[in-house]
Amino acid sequence: MNESIEISVGIDDTDSPKGMCTTYVMYRFVNRAMAEGFEIIGMPRLVRLNPACPFKTRGNAALGVDIRLDQNKISVLKNMLLDTIFELSEIKEKNTNPAFVIFERKNINDKLVNFSRNAVKRVVELNEALSLIKSYATFSFGFNGPRGLIGALAAAAYDFPSGYTYELIAYRVKEMRGKKRLVDPKSVFEADAATRGCTFDNVDTENGEIKITPHTPCPVLLGIRGLDVNCIKKAFDLLKIEEPVEGYMVYKTNQATDDHIINLERINDIEPLTSVSIKGNVVSLPRQIKGGHVFVEITDGFDKIRIAAYEPTRSFRKVLMSLRPGDTIQVWGSYKPRENEPPTINLEKIRIINLAQYGKLMNPVCPVCGTRMKSEGKDKGYQCPKCKYKLKNAEKVFEPEKRDIQPGFYDVPPKARRHLSKPSFLVVLKDEGKS
């Protein structure tokens, strides 16, 4: 009998703004692998890499899957990957660098895992990926250039350090791609209401929009996010879909885990092209500029940085508009330096820890009838204009202003949420034993 081996496959960078989606390449590959009798271990992985990475075109997704197969079938699998990628990728687009990599699972070591975790948080070096692949991979291939190998390696070795969620992605038949997606929005709201809690972010109630259908000409019909596979399938079954569906696959993902976030104490430590969480005190009044973007400055006691809620974050901007100097907050967001602009954190969510007290000194209120009293002149006390009651030795009293915001978490609406960004209400899934 032949000995079986376990391998991890990573695929990335197969799409372009004109079409395709790497999840579809993975879907087709997994189906072919199963038809060949290869065993899929667990679920395919949909790994979102650094959302601030300048090389991404859309959601910076990379795909991984673990497979058990006969050792002597490895070349069959390799050819299957080559065929699938050649057949489906946007190979003619020179900025598309389709790539795949195969590791034996026993060779996935800390160096590879750390590289993959880093690719979610930072911009990583191609040379590092290439040297790790040279040392530990069984086989790798990059078309149009090697850049896609970064994501392929990351997705093959990724271990979900901050937990995971699921996404069911359904695919369109070829003839429908590029056409309007025929999914009844009302049924999406109904499916959401019937599964709320175990699915999330599938609609944006504030904006009255559904979130499950993309707007690109790619093979994805829709994606449903959630925490329970049966519940996601239930939501899918409740949808009214008026076009043929080629099929679907459920992925284990790092979406909504905040895995991209680097926790920092000092503004000075923020690296460009990363996403951070940091506490600070508000030091400026909010400022809304043309276009509707809102900016506020915060300090960690040493340095200052600007935080921003851009127009698409809609009602979230009101939270920023309610901040006042002296408020203590924690912010989550990405830092992408832009020419002629001060360093700015593009916010994903905010926690108001403490509100500074604002208010003014006022004349006392009449203890008899409750009317605001009038001053009788310097050091002469106060008299009530209504009941004429007099207070001889009274002083002005401090009356705190009512703030139109409370301490707590505030999220951008689902419509403006980054794939990796964790809604503050969500508790993600964790494998036992993971930190």
- Whichever of 73 and 260 has its CB closer to ligand ATP, that residue is 260
Q: How far apart are CA 435 and CA 430, in angstroms?
A: 9
Is 12 a binding residue for ligand ATP by CB under 6 A? The answer is yes
- Whichever of 13 and 411 has its CB closer to ligand ATP, that residue is 13
Binder of ligand ATP out of 6, 31, 40, 55 (CB under 6 A)? 55
Q: How far apart are CA 110 and CA 106, in angstroms?
A: 11
- Find the part of the chain contacting ligand ATP (CB under 6 A) among 11-19, 27-35, 187-195, 276-284: 11-19
Q: How far apart are CA 1 and CA 158, in angstroms?
A: 32
- Whichever of 16 and 313 has its CB closer to ligand ATP, that residue is 16
Nearest approach, Cβ of 143 to ligand ATP (angstroms)?
11
Q: How far apart are CA 284 and CA 293, in angstroms?
A: 15
Nearest approach, Cβ of 359 to ligand ATP (angstroms)?
48
User: Are the beta carbons of 333 and 410 closer than 8 angstroms?
Assistant: no
Q: Say how far residue 92 (Cα) sits from the centre of its chain.
A: 30
Q: How far apart are CA 203 and CA 211, in angstroms?
A: 5
- Whichever of 160 and 382 has its CB closer to ligand ATP, that residue is 160
149-188 binders of ligand ATP (CB under 6 A): 150-151
> 3-state DSSP call for residue 241?
strand
Nearest approach, Cβ of 87 to ligand ATP (angstroms)?
17
Is 253 a binding residue for ligand ATP by CB under 6 A? The answer is no
Nearest-5° Cα angle at 53, 52 to 58: 85
Question: What does 40-70 look like in DSSP terms, one character per residue?
Answer: EEEEEEEEE--TT-TT-SSS-EEEEEEEEEE
Written as one letter, the residue type at 64 is G
Binder of ligand ATP out of 58, 179, 372, 392 (CB under 6 A)? 58
Q: In terms of Cα–Cα distance, which of 234, 175, 231, 241 is closest to 210?
A: 241
Task: Classify the phi-psi angles of 42: left when phi > 0, otherwise alpha if psi is within -120 to 50, otherwise beta.
Answer: left
- Find the part of the chain contacting ligand ATP (CB under 6 A) among 10-18, 163-171, 318-326, 390-398: 10-18
Nearest approach, Cβ of 273 to ligand ATP (angstroms)?
8
Is 57 a binding residue for ligand ATP by CB under 6 A? The answer is yes
105-144 binders of ligand ATP (CB under 6 A): 119, 123-124
- Site residues (CB under 6 A) for ligand ATP? 12-13, 15, 21-22, 49-50, 53, 55-62, 97, 119, 123-124, 147-148, 150-151
